[in-house]
A and B are shown apart, each in its own frame.
Chain A
Amino acid sequence: MDKLDRTHRSDSSYSTMIMTIKTPDWERTLEMQAWTKGLELFFVTILSPKKEKGISSLKKNKEMWNYFPKVNKIIKVPPSMMMGSWMGSDFTNDDLVKENTLREDYHSRFLSKKSDLYEIELIPKKETPTVWGKILLKADPVKSIPIEEIFYNERGEVVRTLKFENVKKISGRFVPMKMILEPVTKKGHMTVVEYLDLNLDAKVEDSVFTIGNLQKRR
């Protein structure tokens, strides 16, 4: 479980990725650069398109800040906006902020255990703040990577699915390079995150994850 939590992060990472957001009305692509350290620190900045270049998010422990270079303002994401969309995608701010780790925050139960596929039911522990009633996790035990996560709300309805594809071996580990998030409740909406370059266990300075760095990084 711990290995699954750290699929894309390892102890630290540096990556470039492309996020494609599809809606029935428009489709757009963002190129981003991201740094992580542990599960607590996360910094991402948009490289393109030009209009949004430099818009950055910093996540530190349970808090999150966004920086908007156009108006040169740093805004702390208020709790009311946590369930709001992150950068217009189907991911919520909460998805990025929450350090809910599967091992610590969920009661897990194996539904099926085959040699190449584990199906695990995750029920949040009482003290875990989450909007999910249940998560169904399908994982590959050989490569120790997730294959699919199905998110249920408290009434037991499927809210969204997250699929992991395009597995590659990086730094001696298997990593899915593509993540597809589909909210079931919003027809035609989809967010795809694809890693162009992923450096696991890269040396990342703590200074990256400071509010000052949000503004500095132009």
Chain B
Amino acid sequence: MLLKLAQRNIFRNRRRTFLTVSMMVCGYVLVSLFIAWADGAYGEIISQFINARTGEAQIHFKDYLEEPKMYKAIADYEGLLSYLESNPSVLSMSPRVKGGALIFLNTKNFHANVVGIDFDKEIAATNFLRRIPIDSGSIGKNSYVIVLGEKVANALKAVVGDEVMLLSSGADGSIANDLFKVIDIARGDRAKIDEMNVYIPINVAQEFFSLPGKVHEIMLRTKGKLADLNLPTDLTLSGWKEIEKDFYKAMEADRKGDNVARFIIMVLVALGVFNTVLMSVMERMREFGVLKAIGTNPSFLFKMIVLENIIVGALSIVIGTILALAVNYYFSKHGITFGETFEYGGFEFNEMKAVMELRSYILPSIVILVTSIFVSLYPAYRAAKIPAIEAIHS
């Protein structure tokens, strides 16, 4: 009886229902798109990080991450590599030797981060060097060649073909010095952080830093969870959240800030819905007066109005979900291009894409349903309380 009445009331005045529903649907889509966008942006940042630098996980000597020191190296790394290769979750990996060095060219010098890499493996595991057109086949394992990050190259005014000198100290404290031929400059790369890096073949780096057969880091690209990994006790496996701890924390803080913005949008949507519901109930005050005059119980009236709104809310959620799916899908494919690029965590972005995730639908659904119930309470209460005679005269 109650349901039937509520249903009839809704469809009796199509124009009014349409107004309320469209208000709710708009709110729903707005919240949904906002969440999808924010998640999309963070997702993009994370995937940039993982793809270009950190991988999903890395293996280091025990406390290398907290306090990187030259001598904290992974001893039998080749054995470890073949062991990791047999793990089905590991897609690819890249061993790295890391250190700092002064680079000299003519009268200029610059301090750079030296990364010794297996060019083939690094290219397979990250999308960073892939963007640099290096013919890895031409890089001999023991050739003294170097790829300069853009900032390093600019500081030295180096061009391809130059011979730079690297000066540093090895793991045993010895003085490391060698000449390297510049084979490429990593220009126009999106990862700003890597501009200070220079890349040399891993064997050469081991020789240079007096680390025979050792590396500092094995970067892993994985699929799913890494199961059954038996590492030597002096090594640790860390996920990207640990590796880029500072960045991750900053991002989480940023996300919290986003929650505030999200909350404000939700409140705005709720206010809009409230306004619409209040107006539509007030509009029908006369009608409620008549109902009361013929002896309708106020609590019945109250329930009826709330139920009406729940139905309208549910209807809006259904329509909203369909619409939001379409809108989010469109923006996940096309994205919005910004006039200028913005930088986050050393990466540059000039496009914001939405992401299709369940949470961009659940959250707005809750918002709409809860607000449609809550905002109907006050108008329903007013309608239930008002004396019949007054309502009819209004």
Q: Which residues of B (167-185) have their CB < 8 Å from a CB of A?
A: 167, 169, 171-175, 177-179
Give how many B residues have a beta carbon under 8 Å from the other chain's beta carbons. Answer: 18
Closest beta carbon of chain A to B111's beta carbon, Å: 9
* Chain A, interface SS category: mixed
**9-residue interface stretch from A19-27, A92-100, A102-110, A117-125:** A19-27
A-contact bits for B131-163, CB 8 A (1 contact / 0 none): 000000000000000000000000000000000
B-contact bits for A51-74, CB 8 A (1 contact / 0 none): 110010000000000001011010
Q: Is the CB of B178 within 8 A of A49?
A: no
A-contact bits for B41-83, CB 8 A (1 contact / 0 none): 0000000000000000000000000000111000000000000
Q: Please list the 3 inter-chain residue pairs (A to B) with the smallest Cβ-Cβ separation, ordered nearest first.
A: A68-B177, A71-B179, A26-B173
Q: Is the CB of B69 within 8 A of A25?
A: yes
User: Complex Cα distance A23/B169, Å?
Assistant: 13
Closest beta carbon of chain B to A119's beta carbon, Å: 35
Given contacts A73-B104, A78-B109, A81-B102, contact A28 B165 (CB under 8 A): no
Closest beta carbon of chain B to A31's beta carbon, Å: 14
Kindly report which residue of chain A lies nearest to residue B69, judged by CB atoms: A25
Q: Is the CB of B171 within 8 A of A26?
A: yes
A52's partner among B70, B109, B175 (CB-CB below 8 A) is B175
Q: Is the CB of B173 within 8 A of A28?
A: yes
Chain A residue contacts of B71, Cβ below 8 A: 25-26
Chain A residue contacts of B179, Cβ below 8 A: 71, 73
Chain B residue contacts of A51, Cβ below 8 A: 174-175
Chain A residue contacts of B109, Cβ below 8 A: 75, 78, 80-81
Q: Is the CB of A71 within 8 A of B174?
A: no
Kindly report which residue of chain B lies nearest to residue A23, judged by CB atoms: B173
Kindly report which residue of chain B lies nearest to residue A25, judged by CB atoms: B71
Can you report 8 A-B residue pairs in the complex whose CB atoms are below 8 A from each other? A25-B70, A25-B71, A68-B167, A68-B175, A71-B178, A71-B179, A73-B165, A75-B109
Q: Is the CB of A75 within 8 A of B69?
A: no
Q: Is the CB of A75 within 8 A of B167?
A: yes
User: Complex Cα distance A122/B107, Å?
Assistant: 37
Chain A residue contacts of B167, Cβ below 8 A: 68, 75
Q: Is the CB of B177 within 8 A of A21?
A: no
Q: Is the CB of A70 within 8 A of B177?
A: yes
A88's partner among B69, B104, B175, B178 (CB-CB below 8 A) is B175
Q: Is the CB of B104 within 8 A of A75?
A: yes
Given contacts A75-B104, A75-B165, contact A28 B172 (CB under 8 A): yes
